Structure 1
Amino acid sequence: MPSMFEGLQLPATFDAHVHLRSGIMMEAVVSTIRDGGADMVYVMPNLVPPITTVEACLEYRQKLQDLEPNVTFLMSLYLCSALTPNVIVEAKKAGIKGVKSYPAGVTTNSDSGVLDYKSFYPVLAAMEKEDLLLNLHGECPSSADVTVLNAEEAFLPTLGMLHRDFPNLRIVLEHCTTAKAIEAVKSYGPTVSGTITAHHLSLIVDDWAGDSFNYCKPVAKTPQDRIALLKAAASGDPKFFFGSDSAPHSTQAKQGSHISKAAAGIFTQPICTQLVLDALEQGCQEGILNEEQLTHKILAGFLSEHGRHFYQEPMSSSHLILGAGQNIQIPDLIPVDNRMVAIAPFRKGQRTRSLGWL
């Protein structure tokens, strides 16, 4: 009997949130983008050092394009004190799509991030005028009242403040993990959207507590939160679209050591489209979703069309065809170089469906 989605044809995926790193890690990761069904990706700027100038951003894009000319790379700058309204004007002219904000210290390479959004209001005003996106890592730093479990919820008033003060600024609340985040995005006007990752459609807190390979920021939350994410992804609401937040780290970094904690991030790039479909199928098996609601329109919207529309990009002319479920094995390791550095992909060693390009 054919498995769910077998033979389905979908437009190529738009992955609205990727970490492609630099150097040998970049070379290993970029080659996997099309394996996961994407022909357009939005690239995060939190390199070391972060991408804070138009020149550095364009140089980075050229390196990526040279490695994979069949993918469109949309670029972003890192919100920090180096950005000025003049840089925003220059970025718009250069075709840079947006600016990513990290609260200082909350995740990988975020030490130069934001402590006080009010101090960046002149930059945000320029972004609103020039129609550049603001991409928010929506967490507050840990404090006496904030932990990884409520950091996103604690950030939601800041999202509301930014939308109130800049109502025409297109804002993306990245990698939503909670039911409250979903409701917050729904409550605002059409200039506010949210991305949802493949791994957050699959994981809850019990899956990463004690397993560093399932540990990411923001962390996966409760079963009820996962249900809210699945329902949002399957709702057809154009406010929600796919952003993998695929974040490669070496296996050594993911395991941590006596001098450093385990790195936060899950690598899903080579199988990102398949993972979304697997999670939706699992949602049907659990009775959270029903197969009839997962129409071609719903799947194409979440994986491809809603994000392209919000980012003001053309729809893809390329298409994917989905194979039977569980007919390829996810590798245990993806080699980075010949010095035994490797990345462990999400659900390593398990099986998923195949995917081909038409």
Structure 2
Amino acid sequence: MQTITLRRPDDWHLHLRDGAMLEGVIGDTSRHFARAIIMPNLVPPVVTTADAKSYRERIMAALPAGDRFEPLMTLYLTEQTSPDDVEAGKESGLITAVKLYPAGATTNSHGGVRDIEKAMPVLERMARIGLPLCVHGEVTTPDVDIFDREAVFIETVLDPLRKRLPELKVTMEHVTTKDGIDYIKASKANLAGSITTHHLIINRNAILVGGIRPHYYCLPVAKREHHRLALRAAAVSGDPRFFLGTDSAPHVDPLKECACGCAGVYTSINTMSCLAHVFEDEDALDKLEAFSSLNGPAWYGLPVNAETITLVRREEEVRFPAKIETGAGPVTVFDPMFALHWDVA
């Protein structure tokens, strides 16, 4: 197969940042993607509907001329979040989901939830009005190994929450383990998972073998090879509970290449080329549209995009810049460590 035409894809987990960084990266998403769920972990975070409205306006102002792109806004869940404000945000059509960050789990998550009980009034309201909860599925207690955080979160936080509120619609974002895949598969209703581009390609060796490679460091951190293979199997299966959420997360190089580097991998610019390579490897190019363009809209109750994109397999290698330059500074682009031949025409 030398060409593939897909419904225009969506990104169901994206970091756009703000200010000069937002202006520098948004075009890499809007060039290929019609919609994206926008993460709210700014400084300060997007905690109210008014915050989300203001942030959406800044996103639209930064959009390159002529690009058609819809940011789907989320709220950052805190222990003080107002159920009434969340419901008003949903009713206005502005708010697509609420994001649960366990405090300290990832970038700018220090204001997240420490005691899930204090967030229950909001979660109960969300269950009643049908507003999805997106979760960063890791515990942050110091006695839990970083490679076990996802499995422990499922056991100690997510499963009890879902038993208590079975009608709450939950997206496990950036699933990284076989445990997470198996838990979603075993669920009968109201649970789905997004999978990133880079977790389909790298395992933890990419970060640690031959020296520390900070541009492969992300949270949740990449795991062992058997977990990566489980993610690939789920992504190419066509199972409607799994869909693309890149978790593309730009940081300027000085904040990655330092003694305490930031977590995040920047994949917006080359995600579709990388995914086509992965799905071709798995002899599953016929399932790429489901993963990138169909399953996510079905889960979030949105129409499939009417527009299409076409991927062409080139004889010569398709090259992407090693870095992009933004007004905030240089950002290193994800290197999949293999030659790419699929190109968005």
- Which TM-score band applies after superposition, normalised by the shorter structure? over 0.9
Structure 1 runs (4+) greater than 4 angstroms displaced: 348-351
Q: Which residue does 2:231 correspond to in 1? A: 229
Distance of 1:319 and 1:217 partners within structure 2: 32
Aligned to 2:309, the other structure's residue is in SS state strand
Q: Could you tell me how far 1:6 is from its partner in structure 2?
A: 2.5
Q: TM-score, normalised by structure 1?
A: 0.90
Distance of 1:354 and 1:203 partners within structure 2: 19
Q: Could you tell me how far 1:66 is from its partner in structure 2?
A: 2.6
Q: Which residue does 2:108 correspond to in 1? A: 109
Q: TM-score, normalised by structure 2?
A: 0.93
Amino acid at match of 1:310: W
The correspondence of residues 42-81 of structure 1 with structure 2, limited to 5 A, is 42-68=37-63, 70-81=68-79
Q: Which residue does 2:341 correspond to in 1? A: 353
Q: Could you tell me how far 1:142 is from its partner in structure 2?
A: 4.1
Structure 1, unpaired ranges of 5+: none
Aligned to 2:269, the other structure's residue is in SS state helix
Indicate which of 309, 324, 345 corresponds to 2:298.
Answer: 309
Residues 251-304 of structure 1, C-alpha deviation per residue, up to 9 Å, x if partnerless? 1111123xxx111000001111222222233xx3xxxx3x2xx153x2111111
Amino acid at match of 2:310: I
Q: Which residue does 1:207 correspond to in 2? A: 206
8 Å Cα contact 1:177/1:218 also seen in 2:
yes
Length, aligned pairs only: 336
Distance of 2:340 and 2:229 partners within structure 1: 21
The correspondence of residues 290-305 of structure 1 with structure 2, limited to 5 A, is 291=283, 294-296=284-286, 298-305=287-294
- 185 and 348 in structure 1: CA distance in 2 versus 1, 3 angstrom threshold: closer
Amino acid at match of 2:124: A
Residues 166-207 of structure 1, C-alpha deviation per residue, up to 9 Å, x if partnerless? 111110001011101100111112210001000000011110
What is the Cα-based RMSD across aligned positions, in Å?
1.6
Distance of 2:59 and 2:339 partners within structure 1: 29
Distance of 1:102 and 1:353 partners within structure 2: 37
- 309 and 8 in structure 1: CA distance in 2 versus 1, 3 angstrom threshold: same
Q: Is 2:336 aligned against 1:336?
A: no
Q: Could you tell me how far 1:351 is from its partner in structure 2?
A: 4.3
Amino acid at match of 2:137: G
Distance of 2:135 and 2:169 partners within structure 1: 11
Q: Which residue does 1:184 correspond to in 2? A: 183
- 178 and 352 in structure 1: CA distance in 2 versus 1, 3 angstrom threshold: same
Q: Could you tell me how far 1:65 is from its partner in structure 2?
A: 1.9
Aligned to 2:183, the other structure's residue is in SS state helix
Amino acid at match of 2:262: A
Q: Which residue does 2:12 correspond to in 1? A: 16
Distance of 1:131 and 1:314 partners within structure 2: 17
Taking only the aligned residue pairs, the percentage that are identical comes to 32
